[in-house]
Amino acid sequence: MEYPRIGIVLVHLNSYGDTSLCLKSLRNMTYPNAEVIVVDNGSTDATGERLRKEFPEVTHIRSEDNFGFSGGNNIGIKHALSNGCKHVLLLNNDTIVTPSFLEPLVERLESEKNVAAVSGKIYYYPASINGRKNIIWYAGVYQKWHTGYHHIGVIEEDKGQFEVAKKVIYASGCLMLMNGEVIKLIGGLAEEYFIYWEESDWCLRAKEIGYECWYEPRSVIDHNFRSAPFGRGETPFYMYMQMRNSFVFASRHFHGWLKLRHHLFYPLYILYYFLTLIRYRNFRGAKAIFYGIIDYFRGYRGKQGLKERGYIKN
């Protein structure tokens, strides 16, 4: 296969442990033509400078402000495309890659002209899920009855049941190889999301102009993500952003019957989630649901409201 130049973008914010593990794993990748780009997204603990010294082979970009996952990635995307990269890989900084993870993504992206983005098979990192191995975090995605989305295969042990590449609604921003030409056509991630829902928004914007997204199981990584029991461990920040951004996303992409479904069924899902949080005494998470809805209708987007609600400091 040919090896077009790939820009690999990681967004870092006060998370030296995760980012350093990810960068160490990237040192072992077999893909021969890539630039690793770390965007220090307003870190306040000097870990960005520590990473700069320990990983001199990496491109380090310092942002004095925290622009969120979407804005931080956009900084890296802009750098990659303006410095000779054909495509851009978004990679969560709390992932650990396998050496040959990138080749299958590039091969799939380059296989057809209408591929906008590709994700691979993503496992939970064993240490984050009681040592269990080959437990799936993402093997595609589907739309649920209430119009929200859910990962295929989540928490299942991989026994070969998800080995077929297929088109998906959206590629996961945890591991998303983006077609550089499509980025030039529709732009980067929408910064009004700040974090959550931005990759699904980007993929649907690409779909609206005739492109598709794919799940490619030959690409495998681990995600060092600690899954909280439903209703118990969700943080107020997570609930606020998920709820506010779900309405932003629906307003941009749901039309006709899908819009009607959202109006009919999404309130039922919100009520179910709210009652579950109350049941497990996660009162701050439950309150954040309403803050997210209220601030959506107040027109808050991006970073607006986050300091006011006490969810971020900078």
Whole-number CA gyration radius for the chain: 19
Give the mean model confidence (pLDDT) for residues 23-27. 98
pLDDT at 310 over 70: yes
- Rounded CA-CA distance 72/69 in Å is 5
Give the mean model confidence (pLDDT) for residues 14-37. 97
Q: Specify whether the CB–CB gap between 21 and 224 falls below 8 A.
A: yes
Written as six digits, the tokens of 151 are 């990962």
Strands 87-91 and 95-97: unpaired
Fold of 6-223: Spore Coat Polysaccharide Biosynthesis Protein SpsA; Chain A (3.90.550)
pLDDT at 229 over 90: no
Instruction: Note the pLDDT tens digit of each residue in 132-186.
Output: 999 999 999 999 999 999 999 999 999 999 999 999 999 999 999 999 999 999 9
Residue-range domain boundaries for the chain: 6-223, 236-297
**DSSP single-letter state for residue 219:** E
Query: Any alpha helices (H) in the chain, and if so which ranges?
Result: 16-26, 47-54, 68-82, 102-111, 180-186, 198-207, 236-253, 256-279, 283-297
